[in-house]
Structure 1
Amino acid sequence: MRPFCASSAALLAVAWYMGAPLVGGPAAPADGAVGSVTGSVNPYGVNCWFWNLGTINFLKRAGILHYRVMVPWHLLEPEPGRIIWDGAPGSPRSADLHFHVHNARAANRDAATPVRFSLVFYGSPVWARRDPQKVLSYDPERYAAFITRTLAFCDGIAPGLVEAVEVENEYPTGAWVDEKPPAFGTDQRDPSWYYADILKAASRAVKKHNPALPVVAAGIWEFAHHQVDALYQLGCAPYFDRLNLHYYDQRDMGNPQGIRVPPWEHGWQHFPTHLGYLHEIARRYGDGGKFIRLTEFGWRVSERLKSRYLTYVLDVCRLSGLVDRVNYYQATNFYEATAAPTDTIGFIDVTTFSDDDEFGWAPVSYRTRPLYDTFRRYIRRFPVWTPGAPPRHIRPVPAPSREPMVPDGSFDYGAQGWRGAVTVDGGVACLDVPGRMVSEPFAVEPLRLYEISFRISIRAADADACHVQPGLEYLSGDADAGAAVINCWGIVDTRRYPDGWRTVRFIAVPPAAADAARVVFDARGTGSVRIDDVRVQGLTLPGERTVR
């Protein structure tokens, strides 16, 4: 999460793909009759930073009942053992958990369809960290103790309000420290160093408090699916009940020069492909029965496009059978009554007296945007989903018609087909550090889905000393045609993996101009690096239409 006009029924018939409408689902109930039936769920949720009663009532009116509430550890426990439930002095109003819980309790009074909170525990206090610059370097047991106290606090005010716990937000796939080259603190993105232990300790604490309370893994930011694969390699499957995906376009993932594309456009940002691939990783480890929660998604585009994109993503999730919760980011746009909104990603404009500390979050008036009406009408049409039902649609990017002729990545015949700072010892590539190894180019088909995988062993003084950046570079004839956009930071010392070897996988969709590609590995810092079993293969995900 990065805190920063007419709708019509026609928007609900938005194209699934190239103009074909999606249909299906139960008949719409009377206005306001939203809830769950046997075997089905109301999956509709939202993110918000300030849960005042007015906002909650607008959301309830639309049938949006599941609220993702950020719990900033560093602002609620500023000193060891000293918890301030309405936020430490000087903290923003959004940190006031006491306020949020009491408002939810008030909203649930005599309610036939109560609202529920998913608590997201993030942001460690500096006093808890082993390394002050690394937000995930805290003692997992201290984090677990804070979760336990928070759950007890919420139960004491509004029993049954909390319906899930998310263990961290985006730091496990997005942490960065400018002052720590060559890895830049991205050892925090390798779960073997921090997050696996955090997840296990938090899960034990949650299940001790309430065995039925779901534990949700951290949100996958910028399509770092390999982080989930690493969790499975580290034996973490028993410690989470749901997978967690965040979906934004390139611009909203932190690249100001990034392009905005529709979620249905075939390319590296294609939404059904990322949803299907996350499920595919779990399936390979025998864990395909776990549902996915899309806990953040949203767009800063025109109201008309937002409505189209929202409808499409909801359709994909509903018909996939893979998703049991969707939380749009975000509900509200706060701004002063005398000014214009500075961020319009939300669907309710909330005016305030001023932006100062005393009145900055106090609502004066509300105005819904067209996206609110789109959301509300969609929920009326499809009030419940049935996660786990056989998928009717997924339609990921299709696989290529033939497998690429990639240079030998087993290195059984030496370094043939590879160049750069690489030697081979016993059928394993040894990459000089610092150094770069590159495969000879091989033909690829544009706008087709490939999976790149390899095994890597890194030995260094510590997790900050050496980093390896893998990649796939594209060519058009002899000219450069860009590179696969992948979040593969955090490939650091692998001593904590079984036998000291980590398997890394990522997907790529060559752009329309590409006709060839080459695999690259860049090593930085100091240490020893061994690489084996490099593969580039066409990937067929369930739901693909045959193109061969």
Structure 2
Amino acid sequence: MPRAVNARATVTLLAVCWCVVPPRLAGDFNPYGINSAYWNSPSVNAAYRAMGVGTARVLLDWALAEPADGGYDWSAWDTALVHCSSHGFAVSLAVCGVPAWAIRVPGRELSYAPEAFAEFVCAALNRARTLAPGIVQSFEWHEEPTHAWADGIPPLHGTEQRDPSQYFVAILTTTYRAVKQAFPEVTVVMDGIRGAFHHVDDLYQLGCGPYFDAINIHQYQPHAPGCDDPSGMHLFHFPTLLTYLRFMANRWGDDKPVWVTQYSWTTSGWGWGDIGEDRKAAYMEYVTDVSRRLGFVHRVFPELGVSSSTAGAGSAAVVYDDGNYVPGPASLSVVTTAYLRLKVCAQAYPVWTGIPEPVPLLPAASRACAVVNGGFESGAAGWSGAFSVDASTRFTGAFSARVEGDGGYVESARFAVEGGRLYEVKARVKVDAPAPSSAAVWMELFYSSAPGHLGYVMPENYYGVVDTRQYPGGWRRVCWPYFSAPGAYEAFLKFSLQGEGTFRLDDVTVRP
């Protein structure tokens, strides 16, 4: 059952109709962390400490640390633990990679036995308890599992793994129980997501709310011109997206904090053009400061901490090193503008209180869109395509739309939208297929901003809407934020089937 939310008053952030609840607080806290692939340079580690860092996010590659079942190689983990301990860092263990021996279904890297993963995590935590008691304060499950892709597996390319009902639920619940039984003091943070905002709602639908202690997001702007600025008037507006994640938890009666465990910008080479060190620094400072002001973010981890680079080489790091990572003062080459700006942030706010401050968000639409017959209670009225109206299976009411076979689709009539405004698209989808890899539903929103113009958007990283039998009643709620283009005045939705199977659609809404 969902937990009761904090009894304090909800906080409505500016311009958006989503109300969020501040998390229960245990007093002031140091939120500052850092990501790094190398921990064996005393001078670099000292630079992190001077920047205000309290927590080291240490990536541990399962494939390298357990190359054979039960055969551990702790050399990298030991190095990180020893150096982090000597510099006074707490550690957040972030496990990545999957050893080949653990994969049970070829091409599906998440198909390993949950018990094997839980055993590895507990072994790593036990190793830390032996070498540096109390140093590991948190554990994070895999790096971005919602990005699974396999070129050689048509038609879905392994994206069914992105649906947490396929593998992730069993892995998360098994590992959470094992960690909490042996290491109850360790905070378990959900998997880091990048763009797949719906993943949080999926976890709650599947009953996973009690099996993680914090929500985890990797903040990267799309690598496209005009999208580099996290405060820009586009869908990837940082405070709006974090508020949306928090809202997803709140509507399930939960008040978990959010962790931003990766955020960075390269100075050049990633589709933004040459943004330079000053803009990179300004963006990272903005993300850090907004995270503090939102009130529900408890940890921030810039990515990367250190890399070998020179000015203009396009690095995302806050410290540029000579590349040798030789322990000693000579190994530290230069701190970046981003480093200096983040250091000022930490000096100004050495601890965060969790008390929210007003934060400008994207402007919400003033009213819901008039999606005609979104529940199909009037039959096929307001919809077109290759579908039928089904009275035998529906989420609510008496009817749903039924789409069968590859290429089948259902398309809404056009409805009015307000240009430059924020909406949430929601629907209920039920997918029946011979196997999770057999069929997927694709969702698109088309819009017009001038006569003869037709643009379209797809929900960010929403691959893998596949067989839904694991969801309550076999129905999955799909939901995503949509920020209409300036000048947009009408839109329509299209849901289509790829592969072998059947899907049903019900309760379609587009509202602020």
- Per the normalisation by structure 1, the TM-score is 0.83
Paired amino acid for 2:258: I
1:151 maps to 125
Equivalent residues of 1:249, 1:261 under 8 A apart: yes
Counterpart CA distance in 1 for 2:344 and 2:288 is: 12
Contact 2:31–2:351 (CA under 8 A) maintained in structure 1? yes
| Partner amino acid, structure 2, of 1:423 | S
- The match for 1:524 is 498
1:164 Cα deviation from its structure 2 partner:
0.1
Q: Is the 8 A contact 1:484 1:509 kept in 2?
A: no
AA aligned to 1:277 is Y
| Cα deviation, residue 431, structure 1 | 1.1
Cα distance in 2, alignment partners of residues 197 and 97 from structure 1: 26
Deviations 1:236-266 (A, max 9, x none): 1111000011111101xxxxx5543311112
The more displaced of 474-483 and 425-434 is 474-483
Map of 2:454 onto structure 1: 480
Unaligned stretches of 5+ residues in structure 2:
1-13, 15-24, 267-274, 392-398
Structure 1 residue 311: Cα displacement: 2.3
Aligned to 1:45: 33
1:183/1:467 contact within 8 Å kept:
yes
- Is 1:121 the counterpart of 2:95? The answer is yes
CA distance in 1, matches of 2:228, 2:84: 36
Q: Which moved more, 1:339-348 or 1:296-305?
A: 339-348
Letter in 1 for 2:388: T
The residue number in structure 2 matching 1:79 is 68
For residue 318 of structure 2, the aligned residue among 328, 347, 350 is 347
Deviation at 1:42, TM superposition (A): 0.8
Letter aligned with residue 80 of structure 1? D
Q: Shift of residue 342 of structure 1?
A: 4.5
Q: CA deviation at 1:317?
A: 1.1
Relative to structure 1, is the Cα distance of residues 299 and 124 closer, same or farther in structure 2, using a 3 angstrom cutoff? same
Equivalent pair of 2:307/2:323 in contact (CA under 8 Å): no
Contact 2:197 2:480 in 1 (8 A): yes
- SS of corresponding position for 1:262: coil
Residue in structure 2 matching 1:104, options 84, 91, 110: 84
Is 2:427 the partner of 1:454? yes
Please name the residue that 2:387 is paired with: 422
- Deviation per residue, 1:502-525 (Å, 9 max, x gap): 111111101114221111112100
**Aligned partners of 2:317 and 2:459: how far apart in 1?**
27
> Which residue does 1:160 correspond to in 2?
134
Deviations 1:385-440 (A, max 9, x none): 012x3x22233212112321112110011121111111111111011321222112
Residue 267, structure 1, aligned to residue 234, structure 2: yes
1:429-452 Cα shifts (integer Å, max 9, x gaps): 011321222112111112211011
Cα–Cα, structure 1 residues 403 and 521, in superposed 2: closer, same or farther, change >3 Å? same
Displacement, 1:482?
3.3
Letter in 1 for 2:386: A
Match of 1:394 among 351, 359, 363: 359
Name the amino acid aligned to 1:371.
A
Name the CA distance, whole Å, in 1 between partners of 2:205 and 2:324. 52
Q: 1:352 to 1:333 in 2, by over 3 A?
A: closer
CA contact (8 A) 2:282 2:338 kept: no
1:227 aligns with one of 190, 196, 199? 199
**Structure 2 match to 1:317:** 291
- Offset of 1:353 from its aligned partner? 4.6
Do the aligned partners of 1:334 and 1:349 also contact (CA within 8 Å) in 2?
yes
For residues 200-241 of structure 1, the C-alpha deviation after alignment (integer angstroms, 9 at most, x for no partner) is 11111210122121100011212x111111110111111100
Number of equivalent positions: 472
1:366 Cα offset (Å) = 2.3
SS at 1:232's partner residue? helix
Q: Which residue of 2 aligns with 1:33?
A: none
Q: CA contact under 8 A between 2:28 and 2:352: conserved in structure 1? A: yes
Which residue does the alignment assign to 1:468?
441
Q: Distance in 2 between matches of 1:237 and 1:260?
A: 32
| Counterpart residue number, 1:534 | 508
Tell me the SS of whatever aligns to 1:479: coil
What residue number does 1:213 align with? Answer: 186
Say if 1:268 and 1:485, in contact at 8 Å, map to a contact too.
no
Pick one of 56, 59, 74 that aligns with 2:48: 59
* Residues 302, 459 of structure 1: alpha-carbon distance in 2 compared, 3 angstrom cutoff: same
Displacement after TM superposition at 1:363 (Å): 7.8
Q: The residue matched to 1:451 in structure 2 has which SS?
A: strand
1:276·1:394 contact (CA, 8 Å) conserved in 2? no
Deviation at 1:343, TM superposition (A): 3.9
> Alignment partner of 1:149: what SS?
helix
Does residue 494 (structure 1) correspond to residue 468 (structure 2)? The answer is yes
* Contact 2:459-2:481 within 8 A present in 1 as well: no
Contact 2:384 2:412 in 1 (8 A): yes
Shift of 1:163: 0.9
1:352-363 aligned at under 5 Å gives the runs 352-353=323-324
Match of 2:368 in 1: 403
Q: Which amino acid aligns with 2:500?
A: T
Partner of 1:236: 208
Determine the C-alpha separation between the residues in 2 that align with 1:130 and 1:193.
Answer: 13
User: Deviation at 1:38?
Assistant: 7.4
Aligned counterparts of 1:455 and 1:480: Cα–Cα separation in 2: 26
**Secondary structure class of the residue paired with 2:478:** strand
CA contact (8 A) 1:471 1:486 kept: no
Alignment TM-score, normalising by the size of structure 2: 0.88
Q: Note the aligned Cα RMSD (angstroms).
A: 2.2
Amino acid at match of 2:156: A
Match of 2:394 in 1: none
Q: How far 1:340 moved relative to its partner?
A: 6.9
Look up the equivalent residue of 1:263 and give its one-letter code.
Answer: P
2:217 corresponding residue in structure 1: 245
Equivalent residue in structure 2 for 1:328, among 285, 302, 308: 302
Structure 2 counterpart of 1:230, one-letter code: D
CA contact (8 A) 2:261 2:301 kept: yes
Find the residue that maps to 2:199 and give its secondary structure. helix
CA positional deviation for 1:177: 1.0
The secondary structure found in structure 2 opposite 1:376 is: helix
Q: Counterparts in 2 of 1:283-302, with a 5 A limit?
A: 283-287=250-254, 289-300=255-266, 301-302=275-276
| Structure 2 match to 1:4 | none
Matched, 1:307 2:258: no
Quote the Cα distance in structure 2 between the aligned partners of 1:168 and 1:236: 16
1:415 and 1:424 in contact (8 A); partners too? yes
Q: Does 1:68 align with 2:40?
A: no
Distance in 1 (CA, whole Å) between partners of 2:26 and 2:213 is 20
Find out whether 1:201 has 2:177 as its counterpart.
no
Higher mean Cα deviation, 525-534 or 362-371? Answer: 362-371
Q: CA deviation at 1:341?
A: 7.2
Amino acid of the residue matched to residue 400 of structure 2? V
What SS does the corresponding residue of 2:125 show, helix, strand or coil? helix
1:447 and 1:124 map into 2 onto residues whose CA distance is 42
